[in-house]
Amino acid sequence: MLGIGIIKGMAVTAKNFFGSFVSKKWLPTVQYPEAGNTITAFSRNIPFLVYDKEDSPLETMRCVACKICEKECPPQCIYIVQEKDANGKLLKRPRIFDIDISVCMGCQICVEMCPFESIKMDSVFELSSENRFEGLLLHRENLLKSNSYYHQIHPQEAQEVDDRLAAKQKKAAATAAATTPSTPAP
């Protein structure tokens, strides 16, 4: 029915409004900072880059520097330069990965566009800085965070990502096994 979404939304607002006179559990706002950390698993603000092994962030970062997120970011606040080896051959990881969080609007389009589950939304806050430029420009080292951190802030989503990646790997292994020619008998 046309307009059902608006009616449902207004019903939630009314429930919280009238409920807040009866019990604090219906109060969606809190006294910050006195109320402490109130971040929930639904919170999303700026992106971060995921790596898989705690002791080797650079080697196990998922980003392959394909630059899709850089192209798709509406305010163009991502800047990527691909890494090269000693012979000048391009490597599948970024040497520079910067996000200007003074420009980022938290739209999550970079996350939706990334084919490698490399970039996800963080729940950090209190990011103010005295330096409006360098202080709000996050570099690769600031952006890299482990998969276990991802599990801490968004457990359900991180588990779904792990399951998708495991299924992809399984499928790739099965395809590789099916296309590998068998060794002829002597």
Q: Nearest-CA neighbor of 134 among 142, 125, 146, 122?
A: 142
Asked whether position 65 contacts ligand SF4 by CB under 6 A, the answer is yes
Q: How many CA within 13 A on the CB side of residue 130?
A: 0
Q: CA 94, CA 58: separation in Å to the nearest integer?
A: 9
Chosen residue from 43, 52, 57, 66 binding ligand SF4 by CB under 6 A: 66
Q: How far is the CB of 126 from ligand SF4 (least distance, A)?
A: 18
Chosen residue from 107, 142, 149, 157 binding ligand SF4 by CB under 6 A: 107
Longest dimension (CA), the chain: 84
Q: How far is the CB of 35 from ligand SF4 (least distance, A)?
A: 27
Q: CA 161, CA 27: separation in Å to the nearest integer?
A: 32
Q: How far is the CB of 41 from ligand SF4 (least distance, A)?
A: 18
Give the footprint of ligand SF4 on this chain (CB under 6 A): 47, 63-69, 73-75, 77-78, 80, 99, 104-110, 113-114, 116, 118-119
